[in-house]
Amino acid sequence: MQSDANGLIGAIEAGGTKFICALARHDGTIVARTRIATRHPSETWADVVAFFRTASAEHGAIDSFGVASFGPIDIDPTSPAYGTITTTPKPGWSGARYQDALDEFAVPIVVDTDVNGAAIGEWLTGAGQGVKTMAYTTIGTGVGTGIVRDGRPMMGFSHYEAGHIRPHRDPAADPFPGVCPYHGDCVEGLASGPAILKRWGKTLDQLAQAPADLLLVAGYIADLAADLVLLHMPDRLIFGGGVMKTPGLVEALRKATEERLGGYVRHPRLDPGLETYLVTPHLGDDAGITGAIELGRHALVQR
């Protein structure tokens, strides 16, 4: 993606514990970067704005901002509340709006979710390079999926909420009711980090040593993977996040996903064993800020 501007892009990866801020050239090269602890928005944003003010004075004018943020957040550019965090238990953040925080720079701003930002990053320079449609799922504190088509995040009236689909659970075989306050046994309620901790009180390394438990978790995530295939037919599935670092989990997930699909979806993309179809991320912690820089470029490119 090209844009004609010669200045810089401000990028923010906004998470519940930290904000990563970067100033980058249009080719993605980062010229300044910082990490700011997430506190009340007034404090957090004072630090964010100070960083960009100082970095811009040193490196050059900012043409646009890209923000990949925790949510839930309004990401509909046609909505009056675009860029506003909607409902969160984090003190002060409900109703906070990125455009207000960054208004002194008076440049275009694109705001999307953290998982869409990471998905764009992996599509651009990571495990999703070269494919048309790609689904990036994070299995961590929460579970979420960002789906990118031709580098743009897909959405309907809002961002997707894939973590809340309900997998196949046989209560006789698995009586654990899940931890999601809304649904109990949705994927997030059964396979997220907090769900694993609550159920077994164990770490992921310990989970890796209990094959039956590992398979149970893999099976729930596989239901999500199969639903993503059936409802989006992506060219590649990427599964990342803390839980996916469990040794053996991605292998178990590939096997369970193939079993769930039952040979129904046949396409060269789905190689036997899914080793090239269902993969882990390449960028690690850099996916989010890479995606945020790309979102900043989107602000400058007409579509």
Give the nearest distance from C-beta 272 to its own copies in angstroms.
17
Q: Is 267 in the site for its own copies (CB under 8 A)?
A: yes
d(CA 174, CA 176) in angstroms, rounded, equals 6
b/e sequence 256-291, b meaning 16+ C-beta within 10 Å:
bbbebbeeeeeeebbeeebeebbbbbbbeebbbbbb
Write each residue from 176 to 215 as x if it is in contact with its own copies (CB under 8 A), else as -, in one continuous string: ------xx--------------------------------
Give the nearest distance from C-beta 182 to its own copies in angstroms.
4
d(CA 288, CA 270) in angstroms, rounded, equals 27
Q: Is 260 in the site for its own copies (CB under 8 A)?
A: yes
Chain centroid offset of residue 127 CA: 14
Q: Could you tell me the two tokens for 275? A: 């080793």
Site for its own copies in 81-120 (CB under 8 A): 87
Q: Which of 159, 254, 297, 298 binds its own copies (CB under 8 A)?
A: 159
Count of residues that bind its own copies according to CB under 8 A: 41
Q: Does residue 106 come out as left (phi exceeding 0), alpha (psi in the -120 to 50 range) or beta?
A: left
Q: Is 155 in the site for its own copies (CB under 8 A)?
A: yes
Question: 3-state class of 158 per DSSP?
Answer: coil
Q: Is 152 in the site for its own copies (CB under 8 A)?
A: no
Write each residue from 28 to 67 as x if it is in contact with its own copies (CB under 8 A), else as -, in one continuous string: ----------------------------------------
